[in-house]
């Protein structure tokens, strides 16, 4: 059955665009029923409009407290009734009420080979540690920071002359493959979570 997917993004939205492309090519049995953003200036909004995807802005700056913002975000998600929530460059930490409600139904893309380099500036952390392989991870979201069960990862080589931008760009190419692939597997009901492991039915 066609799934209802919602993308939550704060900025540029290139991962969102990769999902739009996969949907348009018929690679994912789903309909993107909304882009939800905390940032009224996010470029992701233009991408949504160009693809005729409804936009819901829950402007973080317009709420007096973080709790009120989280309540509004949860209400916005309830309204669009997602089967899957995709955090694609959502630059805030989600409150536990939302994480608990969407346990097993919310995924995130992170630009590192988790569990290494959680949090911000993952590519910079990788360079500082001198690792030879870097990459990206799509994982289910739990209450830990970038710590939920891993769905899939893709890796890239780190070159001696890489800086943060060149490495981030090389990883981003892999993100644009990894995220649509993970979303497809979810929408085809091929993923199951067993403790820390995600099993993929072939
Ligand atoms: C990506 O590197 C993603 O892994 C991280 O934030 C960045 C978002 O990029 N969480 P974009 O908005 O999808 O272009």
**How many other CB atoms sit within 10 Å of the CB of residue 147?**
16
Q: Relative to the CA of 44, which ligand 1 atom is closest? A: 12
Q: How far is the CA of 56 from the centre of ligand 1 (A)?
A: 19
Mutate to test the pocket of ligand 1, among 15, 19, 114, 173 (most ligand atoms within 8 A of CB): 15
Domain total in the chain: 1
Q: Which domain holds residue 189?
A: 3-200
| Pocket lining for ligand 1, CB < 6 angstroms | 9, 11-15, 88-89, 109-111, 172, 175
Beta strand spans in 9-132 (E):
30-37, 55-57, 84-87, 106-110
Q: What is the DSSP letter of 94?
A: P
pLDDT in tens, 45-84: 999 999 999 999 999 999 999 999 999 999 999 999 999 9
pLDDT at 202: 87
d(CA 169, CA 31): 28
Residue labelled with tokens 């969102």: 16
Q: How far is the CA of 175 from the centre of ligand 1 (A)?
A: 8
Q: Relative to the CA of 16, which ligand 1 atom is closest? A: 13
CATH code, 118: 3.40.50.170
> What is the pTM (predicted TM-score) of this model?
0.97
Label residue 134 exposed, middle or buried (CB < 10 Å: 0-12, 13-18, 19+): buried
CA geometry: angle at 38 spanning 139 and 189, to 5°?
A: 30
pLDDT band at 153 (very low <50, low <70, confident <90, very high): very high
Catalytic, 176? Answer no
Rg (CA), the chain: 16
Q: How far is the CA of 176 from the centre of ligand 1 (A)?
A: 10
pLDDT in tens, 31-46: 999 999 999 999 999 9
Structure tokens at 34: 């909304």
- Residue 6 and residue 86 in contact, taking contact as beta carbons nearer than 8 Å: yes
């Amino acid at each position: 059955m066609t799934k209802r997917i919602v993308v939550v993004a704060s900025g540029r939205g290139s991962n969102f665009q990769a999902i739009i492309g996969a949907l348009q090519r018929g690679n994912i049995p789903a309909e993107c029923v909304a882009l939800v953003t905390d940032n009224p200036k996010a470029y992701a909004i233009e991408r949504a409009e160009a693809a005729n995807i409804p936009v819901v802005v829950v402007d973080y700056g317009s709420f007096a407290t973080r709790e009120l913002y989280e309540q509004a975000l949860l209400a916005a998600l309830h309204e669009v009734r997602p089967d899957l929530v995709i955090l694609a460059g959502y630059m805030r930490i989600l409150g536990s009420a939302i994480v608990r409600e969407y346990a097993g139904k919310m995924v995130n893309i992170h630009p590192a080979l988790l569990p290494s380099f959680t949090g911000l500036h993952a590519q910079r952390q990788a360079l500082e540690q001198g690792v030879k392989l870097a990459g990206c991870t799509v994982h289910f979201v739990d209450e830990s920071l970038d710590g939920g069960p891993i769905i899939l990862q893709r890796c890239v080589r780190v070159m001696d002359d890489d800086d943060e931008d060149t490495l981030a760009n090389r990883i981003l190419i892999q993100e644009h493959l990894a995220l649509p692939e993970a979303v497809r597997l979810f929408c085809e009901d091929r993923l199951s979570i067993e403790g820390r492991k995600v099993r993929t039915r072939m």
